[in-house]
């Protein structure tokens, strides 16, 4: 091949490169279904939202609701817990974002931005470190203590101490009536 | 020692076969006549033991898969069915679950043997790297297998380990979570996760077997290292693999299997977390999540770091660093028998790994019983020493340490003539 000049591309070079490129694209097209099949399926994505009646939950109590395979904490906070959480300046928090799906991403982690009504903390009960379920009414801040690696959260579910990088997440939810919420 | 083949087919059939597929020649050259240093000791028998354990795990695993159901609502019950109703199911499952422990026990001895005798040094770097790859595949396989009974520890181990990937969110927001969802096939560990973990748990042992073939191939090109760490200089330094090492390996294999059998028959749950006999509950994390004993040192490292991403980097770094050991150790002397300082640091590393294993079984805020001394500083110190051994001590010692004089040949050292005769043929 190319006996006359060394650097002049020939028709054979072109065919060689074009075949190789078509093969690479074909491999990529074949690989994607093999990779994407592992992503959440249509059935999983179609999981409906959950409704929950708040009225039986007493002040100082917490119940857990399942939503999309995840536990959602519904915590009826006492006036003391509300006051403690509101007294914390945002600048002293390790994660200063509200992590609230109902607000813009840049919302600050004030207690007000973590919930719609001060008595009701509705939060995905998964530690942002490695996904364990924290224990409620535990730890130095009276909020949550993760048993796995010792992360501590306050009564608004904001990370205060330990390896977790972020506040626990607030799921999208809305009030259907003063005592009923819909998560998702 | 990949020398000339000495195989001579003696019958008509073997001559016919040898000209078409020299498989008997391969077997003869690798397990019969393979010239092996004559001074290999007890610590060199673990390669054979590991091959045996891989075989045990594959055979028991294939039959367990005939009864196991990889579905979230049936997995736990199907394991109980194996334990109670399937003929000899209890034996097969206990052999498999404890087999993993003994597999790791053997591999740790094998790895530390390699570190002590400098078996990773030139010309055996590729051999060592293949070994590290096997070890990482073993960890992945063991983790996947641990999730299958779908007990509390299974479920939460799956949750914690897959969540390690969400730490990527701290450098590439959203990417880590996307990877986690991809691994789970949902928004949390669940049915799709269990199903694919079973598929991969069945696959990986055969991948391991393939890399083992490469590992043995890479062993047979330069030949075995030996406790003296000096090169084989000629036939007087070696003996044929069979019968010398086949018998020696079998003897130690018998001792090892006796130990294994004692655990399988008399202490089958000694190494298991009792919480794994509680069915998986996505709403309740057990008071304490710990991995199986063989991963505790890495868990201690993870838990000793207060920052998520750095903790994960340290965890994977502790494994990745092993790949570079052949180039981090600058000493030209292989065996630590002749390295008075390196030997002490080596034993400190062994103690360090045992200490990390002990600390990994306890909560990060725990104190040593009866003393009130917190464990966390020791976990951090232990983690620091592990990395210092590979990144500082091995590179520096090669330059600073004065090794003791090496014997001239394996033969003179073994026969103990006292006179270091230079009768080896010139290379």
Q: What is the pLDDT of residues A120-175, one digit of tens each?
A: 999 999 999 888 899 999 888 989 998 888 899 999 999 998 888 899 999 999 99
Kind plus residue range of the DSSP H or E element containing A123: strand A120-124
Contact B306 A162 (CB under 8 A): yes
* Token pair recorded at residue B399: 């330059």
Q: Which one of A32, A46, A74, A163 makes the best mutation probe of the B interface by having the most chain B beta carbons within 10 Å?
A: A163
Q: What is the pLDDT of residue B258?
A: 98
pLDDT value of residue A147: 83
**Beta pairing class for A50-53 and A62-67:** unpaired
Cβ burial of A7 (10 Å; 0-12, 13-18, 19+) is: exposed
Q: For residues A114 and A103, give the distance between their C-alpha atoms in angstroms, rounded to a whole number.
A: 9
Say whether residue A68 is in contact with chain B using an 8 A CB cutoff: yes
Cβ separation of A130 and B164 shorter than 8 Å?
Answer: yes
- Output the six-digit token pair for B298: 């890495």
Q: What is the pLDDT of residue B423?
A: 45
CA distance B356 to B297: 5
A79 touches chain B (CB under 8 A): no
- A52/A63 Cα distance (integer angstroms): 10
Distances (CA, A) of B359 to B152, B353, B386: 22, 10, 14
Distance CA B187, CA B182 (A): 9
Q: How many H-runs (helices) and E-runs (strands) does chain B carry?
A: 17, 2
Given this model, what pLDDT does residue A46 score? 76
Which residue has better confidence, A122 or A49? A122
Q: What are the pLDDT digits (tens) for A109-127?
A: 999 999 999 999 999 999 9
pLDDT in tens, B48-92: 999 999 999 999 999 999 999 999 999 999 999 999 999 999 999
Nearest-CA residue of chain B relative to A45?
B186
Does A44 sit within 8 Å of B282, measured CB to CB?
no
Q: Which of B158, B285, B374 to substitute to test the interface with A, most A CBs within 10 Å? A: B285
Pair of tokens at residue A155: 């009564």
Q: Do B228 and B7 contact (CB within 8 A), yes or no? A: no
Which residues of A are the active-site residues?
149
CA distance B185 to chain A (A): 4
Return all residues near A177 (Cβ < 8 A) that are at least 6 apart.
none
Low pLDDT (below 50) residues in chain B: 1, 418-427
pLDDT of A44 = 82
Asked if B192 lies within 8 A of A163 by C-beta distance, the reply is: no
Minimum Cα–Cα distance from B307: chain A residue:
A163
pLDDT, residue B421, reads 44
Q: What are phi and psi of A83, to 5 degrees?
A: -60, -40
Task: State the DSSP string of A45-104.
Answer: HTPPPEEEE-TTPPTT-EEEEEETTEEEEEEE--HHHHHHHHTS-GGGSS--B--BTTS-
**What does the pLDDT read at residue A106?**
87
Which residues does chain A have within 8 Å of residue B303's beta carbon, measured at their own beta carbons?
A: 149
Q: Which of A69, A146, A150 sits opposite B282 (nearest CB)?
A: A69
CB of A169 less than 8 A from some CB of B: no
pTM over 0.90: no
pLDDT at B419: 45
**SS3 of B333, please?**
coil
- A23 pLDDT above the threshold of 50: yes
- The owner of tokens 């119940």 is A63
CA distances from A133 to A59, A69, A124, B189 (A): 21, 13, 9, 13
Instruction: Write phi, then psi, for B77 (nearest 5 degrees).
Output: -65, -35
Judge whether A134 and A127 are in contact, CB under 8 Å.
yes
**For chain B, what is the mean pLDDT?**
93
Q: What is the pLDDT of residues B102-121, one digit of tens each?
A: 999 999 999 999 999 999 99
Half-sphere exposure of B300 (CA within 13 A, CB side): 28
In sequence order, what E strands does B137-296 have?
A: 238-240
């Amino acid at each position: 091949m190319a006996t006359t000049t060394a650097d002049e591309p020939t028709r054979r070079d072109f065919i060689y490169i074009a075949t190789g490129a078509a093969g690479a694209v074909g491999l990529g097209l074949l690989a994607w279904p093999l990779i994407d099949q592992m992503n959440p399926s249509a059935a999983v994505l179609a999981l409906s939202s959950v409704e929950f009646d708040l009225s039986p939950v007493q002040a100082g109590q917490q119940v857990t609701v399942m939503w999309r395979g995840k536990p959602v904490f519904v915590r009826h906070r006492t006036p003391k817990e509300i006051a403690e959480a509101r007294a914390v300046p945002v600048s002293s928090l390790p994660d200063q974002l509200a992590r609230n799906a109902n607000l813009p991403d840049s919302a600050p982690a004030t207690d007000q931005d973590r919930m719609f009504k001060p008595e009701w903390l509705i939060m995905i009960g998964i530690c942002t470190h490695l996904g364990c379920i924290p224990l409620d009414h535990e730890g130095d801040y009276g909020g949550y203590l993760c048993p796995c690696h010792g992360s501590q959260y306050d009564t608004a579910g904001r990370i205060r101490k330990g390896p977790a990088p972020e506040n626990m997440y607030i799921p999208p939810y809305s009030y259907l009536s003063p005592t009923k919420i819909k998560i998702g | 020692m990949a020398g000339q083949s000495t195989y001579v087919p003696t019958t008509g059939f073997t001559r016919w076969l040898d000209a078409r597929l020299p498989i008997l020649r391969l077997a003869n050259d690798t397990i019969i006549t393979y010239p092996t240093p004559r001074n290999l000791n007890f610590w060199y028998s673990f390669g054979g033991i590991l091959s045996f354990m891989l075989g045990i795990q594959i055979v028991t695993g294939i039959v367990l898969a005939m009864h196991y159901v990889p579905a979230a609502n049936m997995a736990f019950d199907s394991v109980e069915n194996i334990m109670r109703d399937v003929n000899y199911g209890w034996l097969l499952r206990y052999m498999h679950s404890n087999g993993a422990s003994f597999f790791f026990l053997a591999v740790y001895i094998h790895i530390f043997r390699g570190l002590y005798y400098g078996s990773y040094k030139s010309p055996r770097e590729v051999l060592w790297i293949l070994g590290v790859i096997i070890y990482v595949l073993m960890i992945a396989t063991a983790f996947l297998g641990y999730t299958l009974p779908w007990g509390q520890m299974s479920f939460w181990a799956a949750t914690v380990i897959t969540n390690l990937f969400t730490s990527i969110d701290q450098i590439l927001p959203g990417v880590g979570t996307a990877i986690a969802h991809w691994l789970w096939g949902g928004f949390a560990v669940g049915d799709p996760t269990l199903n694919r973990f079973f598929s991969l748990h069945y696959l990986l042992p055969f991948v391991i077997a393939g890399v083992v073939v490469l590992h043995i191939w890479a062993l047979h090109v330069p030949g075995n290292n030996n406790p003296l760490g000096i090169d084989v200089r000629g036939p007087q330094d070696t003996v044929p693999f069979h019968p010398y090492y086949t018998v020696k390996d079998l003897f130690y294999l018998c001792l090892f299997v006796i130990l294994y059998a004692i655990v399988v028959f008399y202490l089958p749950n000694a190494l298991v977390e009792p919480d794994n006999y509680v069915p998986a509950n996505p709403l309740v994390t057990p008071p304490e999540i710990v991995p199986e004993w063989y991963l505790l040192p890495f868990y201690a490292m993870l838990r000793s770091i207060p920052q998520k991403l750095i903790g994960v980097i340290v965890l994977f770094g502790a494994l990745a660093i092993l790949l570079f050991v052949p180039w981090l150790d600058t000493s030209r002397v292989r065996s630590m028998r002749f390295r008075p300082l390196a030997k002490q640091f080596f034993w400190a590393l062994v103690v360090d790994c045992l200490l990390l294993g002990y600390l990994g079984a306890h909560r990060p805020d725990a104190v040593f019983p009866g003393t009130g001394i917190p464990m966390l500083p020791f976990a951090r110190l232990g983690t620091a020493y592990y990395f210092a051994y590979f990144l500082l001590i091995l590179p520096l010692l090669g330059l600073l340490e004065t090794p003791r004089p090496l014997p001239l040949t394996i033969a003179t050292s073994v026969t103990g003539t006292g006179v270091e005769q230079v009768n080896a043929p010139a290379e």
